[in-house]
Amino acid sequence: MFRCMLAVILVAFGAAARAEDSIRIGLTDPMSGAFAQTGQQNSQQAQYLLDSINSKGGALGRTFELVTYDNKLQPSEALIALQSMVDHNIPFVWSNAGSNVAAALIDGVEKHNARDPDHRVLYFTAGSTAPELTNEKCSFWFFRFVPTTEQFAEMLVRALPPEVKKVYLLNPDYLYGQAMQRDSTKFLAQYRPDVQAAGNELIPVGKVKDFSSYIAKIKASGAQALITGNFGPDLSLLIKAGTEAGLDVSYYTVWAGTGGTPTAIGPAGNSRVFALQAFNDNMADEQGDAALKDLVTRFRATHDYDFDAGSWRAMFELLQAAIQKAGSTDPAKVAQVLEGMTSRDMLGHEWAMRAEDHQVLMPYYVSVFTKDVKYDSEHTGLGWKVIKTYEGKDLALPTTCKMKRPAT
């Protein structure tokens, strides 16, 4: 009996010691439900990159450990996940999908850190893009490692060719999609006053299973291009319905490069679908760096979708460098170091974390879905090819952030 109890105690002690040895990052994303593929692929790509960083020593001689929590793309579920993270003393909170989720987490982190300053957490995102998050809702405890919807809208509008005179706007009906709608309209007026908005709609997220009625309206409008911020199954079903109906438009998207969407697009999307990307597999081949090619080749050998989260390496490396410089995983110390930090992505382009609002200024690319590439996406015979590059400094937009920093 005594030996059994001792064994249990030793196992528990060993597990606690191992947890203490690692630097834990709690990832909350949709791991089930309509957008499960998004969350699961986010987790897999993050683990792949963290394994690479860990193989080079991690930070402070400790490895990074990813702990995942399902939020079903619901703010209430994300807050339950946050509570579990703080209960387990996880210092770094991360999410990607859903600006509504991010808004709730910012509030939750602010309240927790004020209530329990001895166990504060630092929150960051690589996918929630509503401008409000680093403007009205900006927080010392929140960092964004992805452009804003405002920047996305500007990039897509500026990418429209001169011959396009009519566009249709279709976006998800929540904080992010509403911002996409607003900012696309604003930048069309600023950069392309010659372009008419032939339609402008918001759709319920994850609820539409048959997009034929939307396709009929787009076709009837005479639009030559569709600008959409939809993602996941909403985007896949939209483009699939359009290609099946023979809709003759060019699709200007934010997320068409993410897993599952290339399959839905298929061969009919050749040279007609454009996506904003921080990275795609063919960039490795074009750039010519042997280590980068190896990173992509190894990923493609073990996964059946593209390595589209390549920019996350710079994000993790910034976090790694901030922990090293701070000499600590204390969230307040790491946040102070992260402010104003610079780095370079895998293609050699500069990243900078703007101190005034914790918004990253990073390079971004417009890519076209085409046969003219080395690596195809999801065995479709088509892959992504960069046609336009935006440097981070060229994407800087004003902020209304009035950040309150902690006294200590």
Cα of first residue to Cα of last residue in the chain, in angstroms, is 49
14: confidence class by pLDDT, cuts 50, 70, 90: very low
Residue 328 sits in a domain whose CATH number is 3.40.50.2300
The answer to whether residues 137 and 258 belong to one domain is no
Residues 6+ apart with CB under 8 A from 209: 237
120 neighbors 92 (Cβ within 8 angstroms):
no
What's the confidence (pLDDT) of residue 3? 46
290: confidence class by pLDDT, cuts 50, 70, 90: confident
The answer to whether residues 195 and 329 belong to one domain is no
Reduced to 3 states (helix: H, G, I; strand: E, B; else coil), residue 357 is coil
The answer to whether residues 231 and 161 belong to one domain is yes
CB atoms closer than 10 angstroms to residue 8: 10
What's the confidence (pLDDT) of residue 408? 63
Given a cut of 50, whether residue 12 has pLDDT beyond it is: no
> Which contiguous run of DSSP H or E holds residue 302?
helix 290-302
Is residue 337 domain-resident? yes
Enter the tokens of residue 230. 């939809």
CB atoms closer than 10 angstroms to residue 42: 26
Is residue 211 domain-resident? yes
Is residue 64 domain-resident? yes
The answer to whether residues 246 and 272 belong to one domain is yes
Enter the tokens of residue 384. 């992504």
**Residues of the domain holding 156:** 150-277
Residues 6+ apart with CB under 8 A from 224: 163, 164, 165, 166, 167, 249, 250
Q: Which residue has the tokens 């003219």?
A: 372
The mean predicted confidence, pLDDT, of the chain is 91
Work out whether strand 225-228 and strand 250-253 pair parallel, antiparallel, or are unpaired: parallel
Is residue 375 domain-resident? no
What's the confidence (pLDDT) of residue 98? 83
Region 122-129: mean pLDDT is 94
The answer to whether residues 28 and 62 belong to one domain is yes
27 neighbors 43 (Cβ within 8 angstroms):
yes
The answer to whether residues 47 and 114 belong to one domain is yes
Q: Per-residue b/e over 213-225, b at no fewer than 16 CB within 10 Å?
A: ebbeebbebebbb
The answer to whether residues 354 and 262 belong to one domain is no
Is residue 401 domain-resident? no
Residues 6+ apart with CB under 8 A from 88: 24, 26, 67
Q: Which of residues 341, 361, 381 is at a domain's end?
A: 361
Is residue 27 domain-resident? yes
CB-count burial class (<10 Å; 0-12, 13-18, 19+) for 63: middle
Q: What angle do CA 191, 193, 196 make, to 5 degrees?
A: 120
The answer to whether residues 15 and 140 belong to one domain is yes
CA dist 212 → 167, 188, 198, 243, 392 (Å): 18, 26, 18, 11, 38
Is residue 297 domain-resident? no
The answer to whether residues 123 and 209 belong to one domain is no
Q: Which of residues 256, 277, 298 is at a domain's end?
A: 277
CA–centroid distance for 20 within its chain: 28
Segment 310-368, tens digit of pLDDT: 788 889 999 999 999 999 999 999 999 999 999 888 788 899 999 999 999 999 999 99
Distance, CA of 339 to CA of 354 (rounded, Å): 6
User: Structural domain tally of the chain?
Assistant: 2
Is residue 388 domain-resident? no
The answer to whether residues 164 and 103 belong to one domain is no
The answer to whether residues 8 and 116 belong to one domain is yes
10: confidence class by pLDDT, cuts 50, 70, 90: very low
Q: Which of residues 228, 258, 277 is at a domain's end?
A: 277
Region 67-76: mean pLDDT is 95
Distance, CA of 91 to CA of 26 (rounded, Å): 8
The answer to whether residues 215 and 86 belong to one domain is no
